[in-house]
Amino acid sequence: MGDARVGLALSDPELTFAHPYGNIQAYGDSFRALDDVITVIEDEAVDHIVVGLPLQLDGTEGKSAKKARRWSANLEKRMRNLMDEHDFALYHIPQVTLLDERLTTVSAHRQLLEAQLGSRRHRPVVDQQSAVVILQTALDGAMKV
């Protein structure tokens, strides 16, 4: 989750493979993307959300991790408010889990290079590829969704 773009990934129904879903433009403030993220959650009937937690290399939380926690809390609050107003298409609030995302961008860049995508073309897709890495890590057992 960045200030330029919020990358999205979804899994297959069997919860085996993550695939890119796209980016939501954040226009300098990732909190502005919350409504668009909720629209995807509704449209795709998402029942579990994994948000990357950008810990520092030593495992401590810095400003970015605290921002990710605030963003996740705001997402849950916004979904709860929509449900209370009966505008939310789902019958339950999806569970939100934070997952350590250290080095996922590095991994995403490596995967894009291996896919023969030139480094100039990485910027528009690296956020969604990072989301794929985070979700695939969750699906592979770092947590059970």
- 66: part of which helix (H) or strand (E)? helix 63-84
What average pLDDT is seen over the chain?
A: 82
Mean pLDDT of 56-81: 91
Q: Give the distance, in angstroms, between the CA of residue 145 and the centroid of all CA atoms in the same chain.
A: 14
Q: Is 32 exposed, middle or buried (0-12, 13-18, 19+ CB in 10 A)?
A: middle
Please say if the pLDDT value at position 25 is more than 80. yes
Q: Give the distance, in angstroms, between the CA of residue 2 and the centroid of all CA atoms in the same chain.
A: 10
Contact 42, 75 (CB under 8 A): no
Site of tokens 């796209």: 22
pLDDT classification of 103: cutoffs 50, 70, 90: low
Domain containing residue 82: 5-142
We report the CATH number of the domain holding residue 89 as 3.30.420.140
pTM tops 0.85, yes or no? no
Number of domains, the chain = 1
More confident position, 56 or 11: 11
